């Protein structure tokens, strides 16, 4: 009863934070919308004029959001470079510019729940410290600066063009909304934003090391180094108390993935169960990735249909559908097709898609890992056929 109560309180607190961020962001847009219709001569015109005004408003919001995502990630890049970080990758939607062996190349990569991401290699970890405030705040600062400029231009120029009016107003409101939702500290099961990172690392050398280690992992991955070949110091498994912190919990997730890369499945599953505990601070996307691996483990071992069915619930189905081009999800779907559904045609289709994905995926090391895990599926399938023949 006590655990359920704590769990419910945790969810209620997370939901309140989400509603607060959504409400304030909506307020920025509502104010801009009212100002826009007030400035629009067509607002009181015909029905067709109203539809045109509404379409222009939606288009302006869409363009503004897209530009501000680029601005936000550029802010991380600029402030990162200014504080000793080195460029690793810059992603908008699923298009990533990555630096591999000193050369820039275009790759494809997407992460559910993120519209963009700028990853940088951190400066050296000295005496439990690295600069982290300006790197994390860079995106928020850039959003605010450009939004203020847009607001000043609107009031000083007072444009006659309906589109220019919409663009300046919504560019400003969208920027302020994005700055608020990223700058206001959020650390819960659903997300850890830039402000949450800063708050979590304040006076906490272990959280700083977790942040440092995760960036070093991504740097190494971008150079084609597999998790199993990286230094042990990048992977610290937090104790039960520290595992309640989402930032440090991510260290445990990477350690678990490293065990999988080493094919130490038993150790990985033990750690996975701890990370999936309701008390752990594991963020939702990591939980879904871990469950994806748990499904794979079940398929290559006991292959119990009831266990597999219980793991693939509605949220997990949604995750695996939205992340179906991710190598680990493709590998698990392949295992499902071969070992659970016994569907050769579906398995061959997934295999071809996997091979096609290898040519464009951002992290070749991950592809090597999942290719080996696919081979384990094929080996397990042969064992099953041999067992049936006997």
Tokens of 293: 């691996």
**The total number of residues written for the chain in this structure:** 390
In terms of DSSP bridges, do strands 86-92 and 103-108 run parallel, antiparallel, or are they unpaired? unpaired
Tokens of 387: 């067992």
> Reduced to 3 states, what is the DSSP secondary structure of residue 103?
strand
Tokens of 175: 């920027």
**Residue-by-residue pLDDT tens, the chain, 390 positions:** 344 444 444 444 444 555 555 555 555 555 556 556 555 554 455 666 667 777 887 888 889 999 999 999 999 999 999 999 999 999 999 999 998 877 899 988 888 878 899 999 999 988 889 999 999 999 999 999 999 999 899 889 887 777 788 888 889 888 988 998 899 888 888 889 999 999 999 999 999 999 999 999 999 999 999 999 999 999 999 998 999 999 999 999 999 999 999 999 999 999 999 999 988 999 999 999 999 999 999 999 999 999 999 999 999 999 999 999 999 999 999 999 999 999 999 999 999 999 999 988 989 999 999 999 999 999 999 888 755 544
Q: The whole model's pTM is what?
A: 0.85
Angle ∠(86,248,331) on CA atoms, nearest 5: 80
> Reduced to 3 states, what is the DSSP secondary structure of residue 95?
strand
Cα(75)–Cα(236) distance, integer angstroms: 30
Nearest residue to 184 via CA among 170, 197, 171: 197
Q: Could you write out the DSSP letters of every residue in 265-322?
A: HHHHHHHHHHHTSTTS---HHHHHHHHHHHHHHHHHTT--HHHHHHHS-HHHHHHHHH
Cα(109)–Cα(106) distance, integer angstroms: 10
Which residues are CB-contacts of 27 (< 8 A; sequence separation ≥ 6)?
A: none
- Contact (Cβ atoms closer than 8 angstroms) between residue 249 and residue 281: yes
Tokens of 160: 């006659």
For 52, counting Cβ atoms within 10 Å of its Cβ (0-12 exposed, 13-18 middle, 19+ buried), the class is: middle
Cα(352)–Cα(374) distance, integer angstroms: 12
């Amino acid at each position: 009863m006590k655990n359920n109560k704590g769990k419910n309180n945790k969810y209620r607190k997370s939901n309140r934070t989400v509603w607060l961020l959504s409400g304030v962001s909506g307020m920025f847009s509502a104010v801009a919308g009212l100002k826009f219709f007030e400035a629009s001569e067509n607002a009181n015109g015909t029905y067709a004029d109203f539809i045109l005004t509404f379409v222009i408003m939606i288009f302006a919001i869409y363009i503004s959001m897209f530009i501000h995502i680029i601005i936000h990630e550029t802010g991380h890049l600029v402030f990162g470079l200014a504080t000793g970080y080195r460029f690793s990758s810059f992603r908008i939607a699923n298009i990533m510019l990555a630096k591999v062996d000193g050369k820039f190349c275009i790759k494809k990569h997407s992460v559910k729940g993120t519209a963009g991401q700028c990853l940088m290699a951190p400066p050296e970890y000295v005496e439990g410290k690295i600069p982290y405030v300006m790197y994390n705040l860079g995106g928020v600062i850039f959003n605010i600066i450009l939004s203020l400029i847009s607001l000043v231009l609107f009031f000083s120029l007072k444009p006659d063009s309906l589109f220019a009016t919409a663009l300046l107003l919504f560019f400003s409101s969208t920027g302020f909304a994005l700055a608020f939702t990223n700058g206001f500290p959020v650390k819960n099961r659903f997300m850890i934003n830039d402000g949450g990172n800063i708050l979590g690392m304040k006076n906490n050398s272990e959280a700083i090391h977790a942040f440092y280690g995760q960036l070093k992992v991504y740097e190494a991955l971008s150079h084609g180094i597999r998790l199993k070949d990286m230094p042990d110091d990048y992977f610290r498994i937090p104790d039960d108390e520290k595992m309640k912190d989402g930032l440090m919990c991510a260290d445990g997730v990477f350690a678990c993935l490293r065990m999988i890369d080493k094919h130490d499945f038993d150790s990985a599953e033990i750690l996975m169960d701890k990370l999936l505990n309701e008390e752990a601070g594991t963020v939702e996307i990591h939980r879904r990735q871990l469950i994806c691996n748990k499904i794979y483990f079940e398929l290559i071992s006991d292959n119990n249909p009831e266990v597999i069915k219980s793991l693939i619930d509605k949220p997990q189905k949604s995750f695996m559908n939205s992340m179906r081009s991710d190598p680990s999800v493709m590998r698990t779907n392949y295992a499902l097709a071969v070992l659970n559904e016994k569907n050769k045609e579906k398995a061959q289709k997934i295999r071809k898609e996997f091979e096609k994905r290898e040519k464009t995926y951002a992290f070749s090391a991950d592809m090597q890992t999942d290719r080996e895990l696919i081979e384990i599926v094929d080996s397990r399938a042969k064992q099953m056929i041999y067992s049936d023949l006997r």
